[in-house]
Amino acid sequence: MLSRLDKEHINDIIRWDVKNWKNALPFWEAHFSIKPGMHVLVLGDREGGLSLYFALKGCVVTCTELKSPLEEAKIIHQKYGLSEVITYEKADMSQLQYHDAQFDIVAFKSVIGALTESESQTGAINEMKRVLKTGGAILFAENSSGSIMHKILRRKFVKWSKYWKYNSDKDFSTWQKKFSSGSIKKYGFFGLFGRTEKQRNILGVIDAAICRMLPPSWRYICFGFFIK
């Protein structure tokens, strides 16, 4: 179990737009105690980054994808000698095959937008709550709708934007009301405009300096935790 993550760990966990999305990790840790031995369900983790994060924390991890986790996920886990402590399964977040109150944590990153209807997303959140133990947490980092500039950029350059549902503050608030407690934080403005990871890293430095001065409604990432 690692108490501190270095740059290589964080790059392998977050995978892209690292400077901005990595801020989810300290936010989660500040609000929920992730302990060795906890059972964690990671949804839509085809590249294995979030599963790696929880395995490094000493958790018992189930890494899932709608079809199956990519071979890339297993390779990244083998790099750290963790593939033997991670289970790989297919899972549909809309209809989870797990028992009630089976997990201490359910986690996902940039996943729920693939469910294009609000009703489907809310149904998935209900399923996650069902498989959580009392006192357990949903930990997530998702694409927020962001500013008008973000919407225009996504329509022009993001090929899946026609079907992806970028979530609004109302969506996150609706989900949060289903739980005993929770909180969200919005982050990032310029990072999304980078066309390469090098550009996104540079823009992420700018975001770190000025993001807090921008209205939350302009920010394109939402970190959150919900406690059952």
Question: pLDDT tens across 98-118, in order?
Answer: 999 999 999 999 999 999 889
CA distance 199 to 219: 18
Assigned token pair, 111: 């996943």
Q: How far is CA 89 from the centre of its chain?
A: 18
Look at residue 154 and give its three-state secondary structure.
helix
Higher pLDDT, 155 or 59: 59
CA-derived radius of gyration, the chain? 17
pLDDT in tens, 126-172: 999 999 999 999 999 999 999 999 998 898 888 877 789 999 999 99
Query: Among all chains, which residue has been given the structure tokens 């033997």?
Result: 84
> Is pLDDT of 3 > 70?
no
Phi, psi of 168 (to 5 degrees): -95, 170
> Is pLDDT of 69 > 80?
no
What is the share, in percent, of the chain residues with pLDDT greater than 90?
87
How do 86-90 and 181-187 pair as beta strands?
unpaired
| Whole-prediction pTM | 0.95
CA distance 43 to 184: 19
pLDDT in tens, 10-26: 999 999 999 999 999 99
Assigned token pair, 20: 């901005």
Helix spans in the chain (H): 7-14, 18-21, 24-31, 49-56, 71-79, 118-131, 148-157, 169-176, 197-210
